[in-house]
Structure formats: C-alpha cells, structure tokens
Amino acid sequence: PGMTRVFSGIQPTGEPHIGNYFGAMRNYVRLGEQYGQDAIYCIVDLHAPTNPLAYDKATLARLTFEMALANMAVGLDPQKVVFFVQSQVREHAELGWMFTLSTPVGELERMTQYKDKAGKLESIPAGLLMYPVLQAADILLYKADTVPVGEDQVQHIELAREIARRFNHHYGDTFPEPKAVLEKAALRVPGVDGNAKMSKSKGESSTIGLLEPVESIWAKIRPAPTDPARVRRTDPGNPDICLIFDYHKLFSDDATILEVNEGCRTAGIGCIDCKKRLMVGIERELTPIQARAADLRAHPDTVLGGLEHGAERARAIAAPVMDEVRSKMGF
Ligand code: ADP
Ligand code: NA
C-alpha cells in the first residue's frame, strides 16, 4: 500500500493474440483496478524504428492505434489508469539522453536481447544498443518501482536499477530502483499449430487473434493437433498432452473442463465435439471484447481522446521529474 507505482511498456505490434491477452493484457486491467492512476501503461512507439526490418512509417500509427483499441476493448480504462503513447510525452527522449550520457557501452553490449537482434543485422542502429537506456527512462520518468515483465526483460530491468543507482550516486537520491515482477502464474499459451508458445514471430498459423472472427478461429481450431494416440474416435486420449485441453482451461467453465477431461480419457467425446465445446467458451470470452472493439473502431475519437487524456496525465507526472533531473545535472 502507498508507494507502489506500476509501469508497463506495450509494444505497438498491432493485432494482439490470445497469448498476449492471457499473458499480459488481462493483467494490465487487473493491476489497473488495483493501482488506478499509479498504473502507468505506455505504448512504446519510439522503440519501433530500432528494428529496421519491421519498421515502416505508414504502419506504425495504425499499429499504435490498434494496440490502444485492443487494450481498451479488453477493459483498460484510460480515465482510470494512465494510458498513453510514448512519443506524445517528449520527456522520454530527453531523460533517455541524460541516461545515455553516463551508461557504459560495455554494459549495453552485454544485453542478451541486443546480441540476438544485432547478430541478425549488417548495420546496427545505435538506437538498438540504447534501447534498454530508453526503457530505463520510460520507467524512471514516473519514478515507478514495479515493472511486470516476462523473463526476457529481467536483464533490462536490472540495468534500469543500475542506471537509477548511478544517477542517485552522482546527483543525489532521485529515483527508486525498480523491481521486475514476474507474473506468478507465468501463463504460457501454446500456439494453435502445436508450437510450445503462441507468438507473432511464428506466423498467423500459430496465433488466434483476440479480434479474429470466430469462423476464422474455428478454421484453425478444427484441424489443430490433439493427442496423436487418438487415431479413431473410439481411442481414449490424454488431455494432459492436448493443446485443445490447454485452451479449455483458459476459456471453458469448470463443468465443461471436467466433462471433456473425463470424455477424452474414456473416449466418450470425440476431438471434434471437444473442439466445438471449446468454441462455446471462446465465443463467450471474445464476443464482448470484439463488440467493444467494433464500437471503438466506429468511434476512433474515443480511442484518440483517451490516449490524449493519458498523455496529459503522463506529462503532469513527467515534467516535474524532468525539471528535477535538469536542475540536479546543472542544465
Ligand atoms: P509475441 O511473442 O507474439 O511477439 P510479445 O513478445 O509482443 O508477443 O509479447 C507481448 C506480451 O504478451 C508480453 O508480456 C508477453 O509475455 C505476452 N505473451 C506473448 N505471447 C504469449 C503467450 N503465448 N502466452 C502468454 N503470454 C504471452
Ligand atoms: Na515475443
């Protein structure tokens, strides 16, 4: 109670899938209900051009809008939390520069994500190396102390702590040392193609879009792999190794989960019937989200207005922090 401020950066990657929904978006809403104006969610568009292979100006604005719309459709309320676009708050880039001044290049070159991404490029943008410095600025600009992230971001948050420590040491106590909080139920949604993890990087055949029409979802669920030992309808199966059963646990009510579990083990239900039962749960979960998304799409000013309101709230927090930083550094 009291001192917690949560920050989370959201990549403007466009069309989220149900892995993003269960693994991240739903938690943003839950944390938003808990922390209100101390839950800060930033669509981090300034990072996007560091990927020269994926960035293009024409799509960035669209992807940013889509990501805002999807989160609002899921229930993120821009009046309740602080939800905005990074490039609309100039202080991010400014604080990023202040941190760049004193962050050792060697520390940045050790970042695993940097090494992975840079290894694939002929010419490495300096921004790719600086990525975690801007990320530290994103967090510290709000003096946030709690950062819910996946495993792959823990190293970056450790660097943000180091950056905060270094600044505090040189200029006096200013920033908290933010903690990475790994989601307890580290929910990993498998891909509908049988991949261990649903991911955009594995392509459309792996993902079920949050806003994908149910007919299109059914076209992916119907042929999805199940227990390979269930060759005939009369063969019993093992739900514990079945992707469809994993999805039931996410979408279906307890009674249905019990029934399909039992039905699979006794060959009382076939895989197609089991998949049809799953579609009931998927429709129940996604239909209201998709209806809100359609409504927001018909009223884009609601989305843009929500983000503008969020940017105002964000600036109100960021500006005095930036004043403090400037004055401590002698600018
Ligand atoms: P993708 O892997 O599709 O590119 P991102 O890396 O942009 O997705 O992830 C955005 C958020 O969604 C992160 O918080 C990440 O942990 C979460 N997430 C992504 N894929 C999954 C998944 N299959 N299961 C659970 N959470 C996921
Ligand atoms: Na990913």
The string of pLDDT tens digits covering residues 95-115 is: 999 999 999 999 999 999 999
Residue 53 has pLDDT above 70, yes or no: no
Pocket of ligand 1 (CB under 6 A): 11, 13, 19-20, 22-24, 150, 187-189, 197-201
Q: Are 60 and 226 in contact (CB under 8 A)?
A: no
H or E stretch including 258? helix 254-265
Strand partners, 84: 42
DSSP state of 24: I
| Amino acid, single-letter form, for residue 13 | T
Q: Which ligand is nearest to the CA of 20?
A: 1
| Architecture, CATH, for domain 212-292 | Orthogonal Bundle (1.10)
Nearest CA to ligand 1 atom 9: 20
What's the average model confidence in pLDDT over 269-291?
98
Write out the CATH class of domain 6-189+300-329. Answer: alpha beta
What's the average model confidence in pLDDT over 24-42?
95
**14 Rama sector, left if φ>0, alpha if ψ -120 to 50, beta otherwise:** left
Residue 60 has pLDDT above 50, yes or no: yes
Q: Which atom of ligand 1 is nearest to the CA of 17?
A: 3
198 assigned binding-site residue: yes
Domain locations along the chain: 6-189+300-329, 212-292
Q: What was the pLDDT predicted at 184?
A: 61
Question: Nearest CA to 174 among 323, 324, 315?
Answer: 324
Q: For the segment 175-208, what is each residue's pLDDT rounded down to a tens digit?
A: 999 999 987 655 789 999 999 999 988 888 999 9
Q: In Å, how far from its chain's centre is CA 232?
A: 40
Quote the pTM value.
Answer: 0.94
DSSP state of 178: P
Does the ipTM exceed 0.85?
A: yes
Q: What was the pLDDT predicted at 1?
A: 43
Same fold, 6-189+300-329 and 212-292: no
What's the average model confidence in pLDDT over 255-272?
97
Numbers of helices and strands, H then E, in the chain = 13, 5
